[in-house]
Amino acid sequence: MKNPFKLLVGLALTVLIASCDPKDEPVTPKPDDEIPGKVTGAVTPIGTVEGTAITANIGPAGGTIQSADESIRVTIPAGALSSEQTISVQPLSNQCPAGTGQAFRLLPHGQIFAKPVTVSFKYDETNVNGSFPQALSIAYQNDKGVWQSPSFKSLDTTARSVSVQTTHFSDWGLFQKMYIYPGNSFLNPGGNLLLVAFQIRESEIVEGDYFVPLPERIPSKYIEKWQLRGEGVLKPDQTEAQYDAPSSIPSVNPAAVTLFLNQTVKIDGVIFKDIRLVCNIFTAPEGVSVQLDGGGWRTYAGGANITGVRNVIQGMDGKESLTLHWKGAATGNFYWTKGIDVAFNLNKGKLVYQHIYGKNLAVSGGSLKVDFSDKAWVMGTFTVEPAGWIDTAPSPLQIGTTAVKGVFRVKQVN
């Protein structure tokens, strides 16, 4: 079961949606040592409740309900229900094979609808780490614990959403059909990591759904090459590659590892060529590490208080302190604001660096990128360009600008 160490990821994909020459007919990848027989769905434990359910009363006229974080939306058309029902969306741990993000239990469990309802998941960069949007799909767990997926889905890359239709309620979650595990990682300087390429093999379609089996390695005959961009050493070996991090925080952080596949494949009836799976690997010690004007890195020991409303990451080193503050979601890309909604502060006594600069207090460029999908660790990067500084030691005080880069990996502190 997939539970990747996630952070923001870059990816490259060339998609061919067209008819092809018979000699280049796409196939669904199968393992080198495949034993003949049907693909069966994986059976996993049911998900664990992870939050408060959202409830709405919906009747014959239809209606919509979504989770508190808006990551799932259920649209019930008119005529799907014969009487008013209490509909609920309950957050769960995602037990789906190759699952990514939060799963949800739709209640009443087993509710049958006269017309198909639409189940839509929003995705972000953390859901496509090591993969690509077209490889995302939605699955449900049936009453026997088996995972199945509707054979038809709708993908909107502008709205960043994946949708399927169903006539019943169950436990639902997003999963990746092809990916590098882990999709994104943090390593201490000098550490190493094993990267492995996986796929979910499709079964025959039965009554509009196919079974979702456990992930298997992408066959080595489909691996063209592994490639590293950045510092460190990559040691490829067919379906896997070991990455050895540099001994200190690199100037280019993260390093990007790309897996090139040499096989045309078909996913959900769509033909894909020249697939490239990309994962990012950050090298930094635990804490908040900052670099000023391209100089040496300094790490501040610290932690995070993430509430999803007002969030703070703070580091300390003696009398010096560094604070990152943002308002809103726990995960995302946040741009600096003139107030304290999204703010950076590095206090070195009488020398202070901030996300505003100049006599007119202009807002700095750059942003704060945060990933809290791991639930125990808060990870990310930030840039402040230019950052303003003020030195109150001399008289009169002095002001100026500098470039700030940072990377952090801290634990959530209650």
Written as tens digits, the pLDDT of the chain (414 aa) is: 444 333 333 333 333 223 333 333 333 444 333 444 567 889 999 999 998 999 999 999 999 999 998 999 999 999 999 999 999 999 999 999 999 999 999 999 889 999 999 999 999 888 998 999 999 999 999 999 999 999 889 999 999 999 999 999 999 999 999 999 999 888 999 999 999 999 998 888 888 899 999 999 999 999 999 999 999 999 999 999 999 999 999 888 889 999 999 877 777 677 878 899 999 998 999 999 999 998 889 999 999 999 888 999 999 999 999 999 999 988 889 999 998 999 999 999 999 999 999 999 999 999 999 988 777 889 889 999 999 999 999 999 999 999 999 999 999 987
Q: Is the domain 1-283 a CATH 2.60.220.30 member? A: yes
* CA gap 213, 201 in Å, rounded: 7
Q: What is the C-alpha separation between 311 and 65, in angstroms, rounded? A: 27
Question: How many Cβ atoms are within 10 Å of 412's Cβ, its own excluded?
Answer: 16
pTM above 0.85?
no
**Which pLDDT value is given to residue 200?**
93
Q: Could you state, in order of their start, the residue ranges of all structural domains in the chain? A: 1-283, 287-412
Rounded distance between C-alpha atoms, residue 193 and residue 358, angstroms: 43
Task: Label residue 190 left, alpha or beta by phi (over 0 means left) and psi (-120 to 50 means alpha).
Answer: left
Give the residue among 148, 76, 77, 78 at the shortest CA–CA distance from 108.
76
Nearest to 193 by CA among 243, 234, 257, 236: 243
Q: Are strands 367-371 and 377-391 parallel, antiparallel or unpaired?
A: antiparallel
Contacts of 295 (CB under 8 A, 6+ apart): none
Bridge partners of 103? 92
Q: What is the pLDDT of residue 346?
A: 98
